[in-house]
Structure 1
Amino acid sequence: MLLVDIMDVYRVETTVLVRRYMNARTRRAKRIILEHARRCSVLSKIPRQEEHLGRLVNFSDIDCISNLRMDRNTFGRLCRLLVDRAGLRTGKVLGVEEQLAIFLSVLSHHQKNRIVRFNFVRSGSTVSYYVNKVLAAILSLHTVLIPKATPVTDDCNDHRWKWFKGCLGALDGTHINVLVGDADKPRYRNRKGQISTNTLAACDRNMQFVFFYPGWEGSAGDSRVLRDAVAQPDGFKVPQGCYYLCDNGYANSNGFLTPFRGVRYHLKEWGPGTAIPQNPREMFNMRHTKARNIIERAFAVLKMRWGILRSASYYPIQTQIRLIMSCFLLHNFIRREMENDPIEAELDGETMPFAQDAEFEGQEFVESVEPSAQWTQTREEIAQYMWNNR
C-alpha cells in the first residue's frame, strides 16, 4: 500500500509540473506573439507616413505647391530657417519636415485635426502639439520675415510709383472671419453681418507686408484701428516725410495720403473706353488708385494662398489671431523665395502686430492721425505736379 501511495503522489506531482511547464510555455508564446504583433504594427505605419510625406515634398513642385503652397526648394529653406533661427527640433516621432508639413496643411486647406491625423497617420494629440509648436517657431521669426519699407526715390522709373516720392507702400484693412463666443459676437459682427476681425495691414511695392495688426473686432472702423496702431508704443511707425497710400476710409493726414472725395477713383471707372483725366484731381485719383491697388492685390493673394483665412477656424480666438499672423509671415517668405508665384498667376487669370521699429532708429515718426491743412496742401501740390508733367 505504501508503494502505491508513493506512486500516486509521484504521478500527481508530475502532472502538476507538466501543466506548469506548459502554462509557462503558453504564456511565453503569447508574449512573443504580442511583441511581434506590436512591432509589426509600428513598422507597418512607418511606410505609410513616409510615403505621404514623400508625395508632398519629394515628388514634384506641382504637388508641393498644391498641398503646401510652396515649391520643394522653398519648403527646404523654410525648414532650415526654422531649425537655425527659431530652434525647431526633431521630436520623439516627427522630423522637422513632417512637423512643418502638418502645419502648412492646416493653413493651406483649413483641414481639421481628424483629417490631418488620418492623412499623416498620427494621433490627434500629436497633430495638435506640433501645430502649436511650429506656430510659435514661425511667430518668433517676425524680425526676419518682415521686410524694411523703403520710400520711393527721385530716380524711380516705375510708372505707378514715380509720382509718389517718399511713399512707403499702401495701407488698408481687411476682414477675416473668426469664431467667438456668443457674448462677443455683437462686437465682432461687421457691417455685412459676418463675425470677423478687422485686420490692418500695409505692404510695400513688392507685395510683402511690412506691418499687420489683427485682433480688432469686426465692428471697429478702419480709422479707429489705424489710430490705435499708431498710438501703441511698439505699433505702426511711419517716419516723418514718408507716407502710405490709403483709401477714403482713412483721414488724409500726415503719413497717410488719401484720394480726393467726389472725384472718380476706382479702377473700373478708369477702364478701357473711359475718358482721360480732365483736371489735376482726376489725374491724381487715377494714379493713386493704380498704385494703391497693390494692397488689394496682396490681400487677394494672401487669402487665395491660405484657406484658413476664408472661413472661421475652431480654435480659441487668441490662437486664431496667431494663425492669421503666421499667414502674413509665411506669405512674405514665399514672396521672397519663390521667383514665380502660381497664386499670383492664378489671380492674373481672373477678372479682376509687428512693426519695424529698429529699422528707423533715430528718426521721428508720425504720432497721430489727424487731418491738417498742411497735408491737404501737400496733396494739392502732388496733383498739380502730375498734371503739369502729364
Structure 2
Amino acid sequence: MGASTIRSIIYTTCHAIWEGLSESELPQLTEQDFKAVADGLKKTWNYPHVLGVIDGKHIKIECPPKSGSTYHNYKQTFSIVLQAVCDSESNFIAIDVGDYGRHSDGGIFKNSSFGRALLSNNFPIPPAEDLCGQGVLPFVFLRDEAYPIMRNLLRPFPRRGLDNVQRIYNYRHSRARRTIECAFGMMSAKWSVLKTTLHMLPENATKVVLACCVLHNFVRRREKPDNEPANDDTIDFSNQQERAADTNEPAVPTHHGRPCQ
C-alpha cells in the first residue's frame, strides 16, 4: 500500500479506538464517582478532600503550514496541549486535547470543557464536608502555579519565605501531584509515538493523542499493579518538625520536579 493509504488507515483506527472506548474508559463522573476518587487519593497519598490532579503536557508536532507562531511554545518547539485530570491510580478522568502550544495552562483550562463546567458551577462536585474536625471545607482539585485561583483549585504556597508547616504542606501537595506526572510518563513510555515529533496536521495529532489516552486507561485497569510507586506515608512529620526546629533545617525536602517523565 502507498504511504497515504497507510496514513489514512492509522487515523481512521485511532478515531475508531476513541469512539469505541471513550464512553467506558472516560465516562461522565457523578458526585458518588468523585467521592470514590477522593477516597482513593486519601488512602494512597493521605491527602483528603481531593477530587483529582490536573496538569498539562505538550505534544510536539511539526509546524503546520501557514500557522505562524500559533503552535510555538515556551520550549521553543511546536505543539498541541493535552490537559488532563487523573485519580490516585494515574488513570485519566477528564482530558482536553488540541489547544495551541502558545497558550498557557490557565488559558487552556478556561477554554476547556472541564474548566468551563467548573467555572460555571455546572460540575458534580460533592458538597463541602467537615475535615477531621477542623471545619467545613470544600473538595478541591490539585494544581500547580499556572492555573487560576478558584475555590475548588488548590495550589502550593509560594516557594520563598516558607515556615516548616508550609514546607510540609508543599511536600504533601507535590507528592500527591505525582499521580498526573506519572500518568503522562507511563503513557509516553507505553505509546512511544508521544516521545517524538508528530509529523502530521494538528487535527490528526489530536486523534492519535485521544486514542493513546483511552488506551492508557484501558490497559491500566486491566494490568497487574506490579510496579506501582511506593507510598511514603511512613514519614513521621512531627519528628521532622522537631528536628527542623533544633537544627534550623527544612522539615522535608521540597521538590517541584517531574519524577516520572
Q: What's the TM-score once normalised by structure 2's chain length? A: 0.70
One of 212, 217, 222 as aligned partner of 2:105 = 222
Q: Deviations over 1:283-313 (max 9, x none)?
A: 2111111111111111111111112212222
Question: What is the RMSD computed on CA atoms of the aligned residues?
Answer: 3.1
Q: Deviations over 1:91-140 (max 9, x none)?
A: xxxxxxxxxxxxxxxxxxxxxxxxxxxxxxx6656634532332222111
| Aligned position for 1:243 | 140
One of 2, 10, 18 as aligned partner of 1:139 = 18
| Structure with greater proportional strand content | 2
| Aligned position for 1:198 | 81
Structure 1 CA distance for aligned equivalents of residues 182 and 70 of structure 2: 28
Q: Percent same amino acid among aligned pairs?
A: 24
Structure 1 CA distance for aligned equivalents of residues 91 and 41 of structure 2: 22
Alignment of 1:180-329 (within 5 A): 180-229=63-112, 230-231=115-116, 237=123, 239=125, 241-263=138-160, 279-329=164-214
Contact 1:151 1:242 in 2 (8 A): no
Counterpart of 1:138, as a letter, is I
| Aligned position for 1:168 | 51
Structure 2 CA distance for aligned equivalents of residues 188 and 155 of structure 1: 34
One of 319, 324, 330 as aligned partner of 2:215 = 330
After superposition, the Cα gap between the structure-2 partners of 1:212 and 1:156, relative to the gap in structure 1 and judged at 3 Å, is closer
Structure 2 CA distance for aligned equivalents of residues 155 and 330 of structure 1: 22
Q: Secondary structure at the match of 1:197?
A: strand
Q: Secondary structure at the match of 1:225?
A: helix
Where relative contact order (Cα < 8 A, 6+ residues apart) is larger, the structure is 2
Contact 2:60 2:79 in 1 (8 A): yes
Structure 1 CA distance for aligned equivalents of residues 187 and 150 of structure 2: 28
After superposition, the Cα gap between the structure-2 partners of 1:278 and 1:315, relative to the gap in structure 1 and judged at 3 Å, is closer
Q: Secondary structure at the match of 1:261?
A: coil
Alignment of 1:1-390 (within 5 A): 124=3, 127-140=6-19, 141-146=21-26, 148=29, 149=34, 150-153=36-39, 156-158=42-44, 160=45, 162=46, 164-229=47-112, 230-231=115-116, 237=123, 239=125, 241-263=138-160, 279-340=164-225
Q: Give, in angstroms, the shift of residue 251 of structure 1.
A: 2.6
Contact 1:248 1:258 in 2 (8 A): yes
Structure 2 CA distance for aligned equivalents of residues 194 and 302 of structure 1: 21
After superposition, the Cα gap between the structure-2 partners of 1:303 and 1:192, relative to the gap in structure 1 and judged at 3 Å, is same
After superposition, the Cα gap between the structure-2 partners of 1:308 and 1:154, relative to the gap in structure 1 and judged at 3 Å, is closer
Contact 1:244 1:256 in 2 (8 A): yes
Contact 1:151 1:165 in 2 (8 A): no
Contact 1:185 1:195 in 2 (8 A): no
Q: Secondary structure at the match of 1:324?
A: helix
Q: Give, in angstroms, the shift of residue 152 of structure 1.
A: 2.2
After superposition, the Cα gap between the structure-2 partners of 1:238 and 1:131, relative to the gap in structure 1 and judged at 3 Å, is same
Structure 2 CA distance for aligned equivalents of residues 297 and 128 of structure 1: 30
Structure 1 unaligned segments of length 5 or more: list them: 1-121, 265-276, 349-386
Q: Secondary structure at the match of 1:186?
A: coil
After superposition, the Cα gap between the structure-2 partners of 1:238 and 1:295, relative to the gap in structure 1 and judged at 3 Å, is farther
| Aligned position for 2:129 | none
Q: Give, in angstroms, the shift of residue 248 of structure 1.
A: 1.0
Structure 2 CA distance for aligned equivalents of residues 204 and 145 of structure 1: 13
Structure 2 unaligned segments of length 5 or more: list them: 127-137, 230-240, 242-261
Q: Give, in angstroms, the shift of residue 255 of structure 1.
A: 1.6
Asked which structure has the greater CA Rg, the reply is 1
